[in-house]
Amino acid sequence: MSAGSGQTQATAPKLLAEGVVKRFGTVTALDGIDLVVERNEFVSIVGASGCGKSTLLSLIAGLEEPTAGTLAVDGREILGPGRDRGVVFQQATLMPWLTVQKNVEFALRGESGLSKSERADRAREFLGLVGLAGFEGAHPAQLSGGMQQRAALARSLCYGPDVLLMDEPFGALDALTRRTMQELLLEVWEQHRLTVLLVTHDIDEAVITSDRVVVMSPRPGRVRRIVDVPIPRPRTLASERAPEFREISDEILGLIHEAE
């Protein structure tokens, strides 16, 4: 995976939101969001439903425009979607008529300089990374929800973004599958050290994966507090037994309830 683009400004943070406001008609979804995410940091966003988590992620993905304020990647203003940012949503949104392999290859169609066979190899490599070796020829409907999310993750990683944006990616999965996916995400992060911004309603998931957890408050959406997670890395799900883990989770739960 690439370490970043040639125009990277060494001093700029990976992601920057400054005074970001987003209104939908009379609804103020976000009201003055300031957030800095450093290169290779793993940051989660938690908060009650409707506090603007998805809106913030869409703005960073370049799928929406802010009403006011600035958003930047590597010091460059975000003007739309880009291949420097991969996005994973709650639903895998795979194309049902294509095999898993072809779904991932489709994401590589814009990669100039890749031959057809190199594209196929790259897709296979990333399907292997997410544990789908052997399922390349399957169609999405033949896969479980967890496997579909694995394929969606491969699709978002294969073109080498250095930022991964995830909006409740495991929210529709059963509890056991979710645990497996959290473990996979930790492994992928250890291997590739992407900058990750993860929206989740699962506080334990936020704590186990993240360096920092952004707690938002609703109506209007604001950053209420940013909580550091000083649990040592590399982490696995067993790191939940670290003495700090429950303490930090409880603190975040308290902050969310106070904010409601």
Ligand X SMILES: Nc1ncnc2c1ncn2[C@@H]1O[C@H](COP(=O)(O)OP(=O)(O)O)[C@@H](O)[C@H]1O
Residues in contact with ligand X by CB under 6 A are: 24, 27, 29, 47, 49-55, 221
- Residue 51 interacts with, from ligand X, Mg ion, none (CB under 5-8 Å by kind): ligand X
The minimum distance between CB 110 and ligand X, in angstroms, equals 27
Residue 5 CB neighbour total at 10 angstroms: 13
**Per CB under 5 A, 103 contacts Mg ion:** no
The minimum distance between CB 226 and Mg ion, in angstroms, equals 19
**Per CB under 5 A, 54 contacts Mg ion:** yes
Which among 203, 208, 252, 216 is positioned nearest to 234, based on CA atoms? 208
Task: At 115, list the tokens.
Answer: 């031959």
Residue span binding Mg ion (CB under 5 A) among the ranges 28-36, 52-60, 62-70, 149-157: 52-60
Name the residue nearer to ligand X (CB basis): 24 or 97: 24
* Alpha-carbon 194 to chain mean position: 10
Task: At 186, list the tokens.
Answer: 């930790």
Name the residue nearer to ligand X (CB basis): 65 or 118: 65
- Inter-residue contact 140 to 148 (CB < 8 Å): yes
The minimum distance between CB 171 and ligand X, in angstroms, equals 11
* Alpha-carbon 52 to chain mean position: 15
Question: How many degrees, rounded to 5, is the angle at CA 37 between CA 177 and CA 158?
Answer: 50
Name the residue nearer to Mg ion (CB basis): 139 or 201: 201
- Binding site residues, Mg ion, CB under 5 A: 53-54
